[in-house]
Amino acid sequence: MRHWLRTLGSYGVAAHDAPAAVRAWHRMRWPLFAALLLCIPAFYLELLGLDVALGVARGVYALAGMTCSGVLCRMLALTRHRATFLRRNALDVGLTLAALASISGGAVPWSGLEWILRLSFMGALALRIVLTLRALFVPHRLLILLAIGALLLLLAGAGFYCLEPRVHSYADGLWLAFESSATVGYGDIAPTTPASRVFAVFIVLLGYGMLSLTFASIAALFIGEEEKQLRRDMHRDIKRLEAEVAGMRDDLRALHGLLARAQARDDAGVGCDE
């Protein structure tokens, strides 16, 4: 699995590559990531179905695509292993091509094929986000997970407020975001437009992921305390065993000395008899 992610991931340049390429990647990887994130609002602007929104979305796609192309071309000029760089960053290359291809078309309603292609684009972009931020999503960082979850909930509320006509206030959008992320579905408010429904799908997936990570982190806290207590008990038992072994060694040494002295006396007694 890890090898597959490395093959289809975003891993920049290798550590043994040209020093200039390594330094350039450290500077350019975050602008590249930020440019890719611009494709998310562009996707939802297209779904609004407004001519102005469609024009803005195409402009955002063009900006993102050209920025990513510039970064990748610059890295290809600096790296000593171009084929390796392209293989290590195949996902970024694919997302860049998808952003450039998204400049054309985009007018709703979309055909079935266009829905599949654009949703695949967003799914690949979600994978790119996870690969970039995977260091934050670890079970032992509960506070960071809670902060990220709260931020996502606030952003989701704003997203529903902008995308769903039946949501008339930010509070309603926040409530719909909570329902979607928690997958409770009370039915009082439901997404009705294609844009809000697609948005709800991603919120549900994010909700599943964040809830799973949060509960895993809480469980890890209790398991970690049990493991710490177990290690302390094992350390105490090992210390006791070491003390017992040291005592047995001292006893054996003393016994060996007694036997040696007894043997010496016996040898001396035999010599006197002779």
User: Tell me: the pLDDT tens digits for 137-149?
Assistant: 665 667 777 787 8
The pLDDT assigned to 100 comes to 94
Residue 71 confidence (pLDDT): 93
Least confident of 2-11, 50-59, 148-157, 194-203: 2-11
Task: For residue range 91-105, list pLDDT tens digits in order.
Answer: 999 999 999 999 988
Q: What is the pLDDT of residue 137?
A: 62
What CATH architecture is 135-274?
Orthogonal Bundle (1.10)
Q: Which residues, at least 6 apart from 218, have a Cβ–Cβ distance to it below 8 Å?
A: 142
Dist CA 211 CA 219 (whole Å): 12
The pLDDT of 153-170, averaged and rounded, is 86
Q: For residue 270, give the amino acid letter.
A: V
| 159 or 208: which leads in pLDDT | 159
Q: What is the value of pTM for the model shown?
A: 0.67
| Rounded average pLDDT over 170-178 | 87
Does pLDDT of 234 surpass 70?
yes
Question: What contacts 74, CB < 8 A, 6 or more positions away?
Answer: 24, 28
Residue type, 13: V
Report the chain's mean pLDDT, rounded to a whole number: 83
Residue 7, pLDDT score: 47
- Return d(Cα 35, Cα 107) in angstroms, integer: 22
Q: Please report the pLDDT score of residue 270 as a whole number.
A: 58
> Which pLDDT tens digit goes with each residue over 17-42?
888 988 999 889 889 999 999 998 89
pLDDT tens by residue, 124-139 = 998 888 788 776 666 5
Please, which pLDDT band fits residue 208 given cuts at 50, 70 and 90?
A: confident
Report the distance separating Cα 224 and Cα 227, nearest Å.
5
* Percent above pLDDT 90 for the chain: 20
**Domain spans of the chain, in order of start:** 1-110, 135-274
Indicate whether 1 pLDDT > 70: no
Is there a contact between 160 and 171 (Cβ–Cβ < 8 Å)?
no
CA dihedral 208, 6, 90, 72 (to 10 degrees): 110
In this structure, the chain runs to a length of 274
